[in-house]
Amino acid sequence: MAGAEIVGWAHSKFGKSEAASTRELMAEVINPALEHAGITAKDVDGIFVGVFNNGFSKQDFQGALVAMAAEGFDHVPAVRMENACATGSAALYSALDFIASGRGKIALVVGAEKMTALPTKETGDILLSASYREEEADVEGGFAGLFGRIASHYFQRYGDRSEELAMIAAKNHSNGMKNPYAHMQKDFGFDFCNTVSDKNPYVAAPLRRTDCSLVSDGAAALVIAAPEVAEGMRRAVAFKARNHVNDILAMSRRDPIAFEGARLAWQKSLGEAGVSLDDLSFVETHDCFTIAELIEYEAMGLARPGEGYRVIREGITRKDGRLPVNPSGGLKSKGHPIGATGVSMHVMAAMQLCGEAGEMQVPDAKLAGVFNMGGAAVANYVSILERTK
């Protein structure tokens, strides 16, 4: 699939940031991304911003904040995208479409979110805006409660897989130890993750605290260029395929543990790229909760429905396994600042493919899969990436 390529990036430390706003978070990554690509603000033809917000801040009109965060963008067209937890990928795909349409040669993509300034209860209610409130507003515990329901449905159908969820959590926390940008750089180990305790209580049974991604602040940025421009850049990562597939918002109107939209997005992207899972060097997938990663094993085709547990038990997705999943530590360890997540996942993949991932590096990484989803597998984005320069 010919199209725009990633030619530069930057990533902030995820966690509880002293930055007071998304504007300040954006300022941490914009100029470093331009410098990494070897360009300046005057080279940018369009700006695409991913910020969920929805009440995290009274300041909206977030697309316009880039010109407030860095100099030189006063008259560059900017737009803000929102697609729940896939907000960052929505901004990225819009930038790719912008370049593919011929309207510009270089685009800047910025994803950011400031989540930690509000009390936990308010944060949970804001995140429930990514559910179907007419039917799901009464869920206790926000999105953790929603995925607690998904886990309960899954366990009822296929058996209790709490141990396998703990294995996924332990894997991702171990990987996150090598990620300098990660919110939680601590290796908890399987026993801690698998044991309900004062330090690891149920958040939304059967999900424990270690089954849930972190409420984080952070930002990430990508510079995207047309192929003919990318030829003259220091590095370039191309999209062999990219697909966005939606599913019905209300969980009552679909099988909530099938992740059918995710399955179709993977199927389309692998087909268009002309590759199989065996060809991928690694995958960055959306582990907002460990049950999500387990079901995503099945959606991507690593296992049949109900048998995702075999994937983690057999070590297939470990860093040294046949298909490493979330070598960055994933959302579980890296953190999940909503608007930044999709951009961050593509930054992590590009770093691996260009051999710039440091201690996270997967040896001889040549082909990457990225899966980012909005809501409970409602907006599903799958990218297949390869280095071209």
Two structure tokens written together for 183 = 């919110």
Cα separation, 120 vs 124, whole angstroms = 6
Backbone angles phi, psi at 163, to 5 degrees: -65, -40
36/254 Cα distance (integer angstroms): 44
Residue 321 contacts residue 315 (beta carbons within 8 Å): yes
Residue 355, burial from CB neighbour count under 10 angstroms (0-12, 13-18, 19+): middle
Cα 365 to Cα 353: distance, rounded to the nearest angstrom: 5
Residues 6+ apart with CB under 8 A from 179: 185, 328, 329, 333, 334, 359, 360
Other beta carbons less than 10 A from residue 54's beta carbon = 17
* Rounded Cα gap, residues 331 and 345, in angstroms: 9
Would you please indicate which residues are annotated as catalytic (active-site) residues? 85, 336
Amino acid type, 120: T
